[in-house]
Structure 1
């Protein structure tokens, strides 16, 4: 039975959050709206375009909320995500990972026919040649962004000279259009102190500026300078090199970003809006409750979740297998059926474990939204 069929009868019923079958992925709808509005207002004040990364939420509905608030479009990490969001009516999409295999390039060109504004990154001249050949049958040019390696050796050209060579190849191809550059400092996003994060980003942005200067000197100034993220968006905007921000996790927040001082003053800029709800299913040992939420219900690469409600905030959390976890709090009397709310440690891969969001206002289920691109990792 689908999540919608299982829980449709609970929509609008007062207190129905407690009646959801668990584990279940929950959005606080009001917190989500406030996060979207706060980031949109910041981008407007800073004079930068907002292109949120949809790999966080994988949702047509949330992407539309972001665009309605002022975003120019979205980013997608994979072709499958882009196909799902385009099918839902999202008109401007940047694919932030290179698309290189013949079968993937064929899908890219097919999507470009349907999508008003599809952009893709490249970091290799051979890939640019393949994109140019495949795009010759399009009625419009295919927009290509030069991906620049920020130092993590994952993707991206490795030098200013390589950026110029690739940009020129793209610009010279009649079926392609050179759209700009991408620079995403993923390794710096979770540096916890603002000062440490700012120093790291200032150093990397100086390198980005050297690449842009080389492109300008070659007559290839990038119209779009896109990148950044939730952890660095305040710093990125202040440095004034990016004109488009690829923030993602701000819509939900998670423990990894909660550990970071995003603004430099210790204030929380965005709220937890994403939760995994669970129930205590066994309580036969003093001070211990076993919940029905284990490895299969949330990503574990970021450590343990934060306990929001239903147990002492300082209770110890231990995964106990695929379907279970334990809460330990000496002196606390756990009871079977206790409703426990957890904030996941890493939102993006946690979302990918679920088919639907259960949107709540307070303790009441108000809607169920599909995770449109769940599992679309190809």
Structure 2
């Protein structure tokens, strides 16, 4: 019996959360619902499409909640994520946001396209377009978006001229259909100051606007302009170029986004994702050891923030693969106590766990699988 199945016996028990086998990935169900509804209302109010990024949660259940609230579909970073979600149930529209290049992966892509109502893919190189065109059929073409490099040089065409040349290459193939552009300014999402982030995004949006004009003047006006993110969504809507928002982390929030001014005036989204961990040793005064370390929490966003179970001024530090330490010289720790921490970076933390433990207050109300855990190919 694994820890997830063993935790099923606590379903519906008032206070059952405190009995969970730890470390446990926990969702505050009410906060999650409020975050989903808030973003859906924002998108509807600004008449902009919502395509949340499933790389954040890797969950069919959460994707379904987002679609039910008004999202037109989801993004997936990798083909494997999309395959896992489609296997779990219907998703109306999926955009894969990374290029798919290998022969084996393109074969899988073709199979997935036959199983979905709408599947789209980004491309950023003419050779990739040619390979894709050779596999798909003009009677059922693959819908593609051109990925535009926002300046981080990870993926995407590197100039307006390259975008036009790629659009022209796509148009030569009846088995491909050009749908639009993707533009994701990943490095800009975590600029802490709202005004500094807004200034940076205005400059990048002007760059993208020039590409849209160039393509439109050539008779290839993009139908879809997809991008943005949790950190810039309010600014993106204000600037009026995107017609799809690829927001992701808003559903959960984490340390990185918690440090940002996401709105010009409103409060940030709520923390809905936590890891519950347990004090397993407290023999040193002012210190306790918990059972969540590198294997339970991502490390790329700093250290976890203590949210509940001990005084808020208590610090967490990593103590290795399996353990962390709680430091508070003025607190006497309780052996066996449960402590909840906010995760440094939600996406990679989720990928470390098999399941979400969905709670309302201290009652475990459901357990959801992390549907696409480990699907990095």
TM-score (norm 2): 0.98
Residue 315 of structure 1 pairs with residue 323 of structure 2: no
- Per-residue Cα deviation, 1:226-279 (whole angstroms, up to 9, x for no partner): 0000000000000000000000000000010010001122x4231000000001
CA distance in structure 1 between the aligned counterparts of 2:324 and 2:175, rounded to whole angstroms: 54
1:204 counterpart SS class: helix
The corresponding residue for 1:239 is: 239
CA distance in structure 2 between the aligned counterparts of 1:338 and 1:41, rounded to whole angstroms: 39
CA distance in structure 2 between the aligned counterparts of 1:36 and 1:318, rounded to whole angstroms: 31
- Per-residue Cα deviation, 1:47-83 (whole angstroms, up to 9, x for no partner): 1000000000000010000000000000000000010
Q: How does 1:249-268 map to 2 (within 5 A)?
A: 249-265=249-265, 267-268=266-267
CA distance in structure 2 between the aligned counterparts of 1:278 and 1:161, rounded to whole angstroms: 52
The corresponding residue for 1:105 is: 106
Q: CA RMSD in A?
A: 0.9
Q: How does 1:8-157 map to 2 (within 5 A)?
A: 8-88=8-88, 89-136=90-137, 139-157=139-157
Q: How does 1:366-377 map to 2 (within 5 A)?
A: 366-377=365-376
Shift of residue 178, structure 1, vs aligned partner: 0.3
Shift of residue 338, structure 1, vs aligned partner: 1.3
2:198 counterpart SS class: helix
CA distance in structure 2 between the aligned counterparts of 1:206 and 1:244, rounded to whole angstroms: 17
C-alpha contact (below 8 Å) 2:52/2:248 kept by paired residues: yes
CA distance in structure 1 between the aligned counterparts of 2:330 and 2:260, rounded to whole angstroms: 32
The corresponding residue for 1:182 is: 182
Shift of residue 171, structure 1, vs aligned partner: 2.1
1:121 counterpart SS class: strand
The number of equivalent residue pairs is 376
Which stretch of the first structure deviates more once superposed, 228-237 or 280-289?
280-289
Structure 1 segments (4+ residues) deviating >6 Å: none
Q: Which blocks of at least 5 consecutive residues in structure 1 are unaligned?
A: none
CA distance in structure 2 between the aligned counterparts of 1:312 and 1:13, rounded to whole angstroms: 26
CA distance in structure 1 between the aligned counterparts of 2:220 and 2:77, rounded to whole angstroms: 26
- Per-residue Cα deviation, 1:78-99 (whole angstroms, up to 9, x for no partner): 0000101111221310000000
Q: Which blocks of at least 5 consecutive residues in structure 2 are unaligned?
A: none
2:136 counterpart SS class: helix
The corresponding residue for 2:211 is: 211
The corresponding residue for 1:324 is: 323
Shift of residue 217, structure 1, vs aligned partner: 1.0
CA distance in structure 2 between the aligned counterparts of 1:3 and 1:120, rounded to whole angstroms: 37
- Per-residue Cα deviation, 1:91-144 (whole angstroms, up to 9, x for no partner): 3100000001111111111111111100000000000000100112x7511100
Shift of residue 172, structure 1, vs aligned partner: 2.4
C-alpha contact (below 8 Å) 1:310/1:338 kept by paired residues: yes
Shift of residue 167, structure 1, vs aligned partner: 1.0
The corresponding residue for 2:161 is: 161
CA distance in structure 2 between the aligned counterparts of 1:367 and 1:3, rounded to whole angstroms: 14
C-alpha contact (below 8 Å) 2:288/2:326 kept by paired residues: yes
C-alpha contact (below 8 Å) 2:146/2:180 kept by paired residues: yes
Shift of residue 4, structure 1, vs aligned partner: 4.1
- Per-residue Cα deviation, 1:306-339 (whole angstroms, up to 9, x for no partner): 1101122122221111011111111200021111
The corresponding residue for 2:364 is: 365
CA distance in structure 2 between the aligned counterparts of 1:330 and 1:306, rounded to whole angstroms: 17
1:297 counterpart SS class: coil
C-alpha contact (below 8 Å) 1:3/1:356 kept by paired residues: no
1:281 counterpart SS class: strand
C-alpha contact (below 8 Å) 1:167/1:178 kept by paired residues: yes
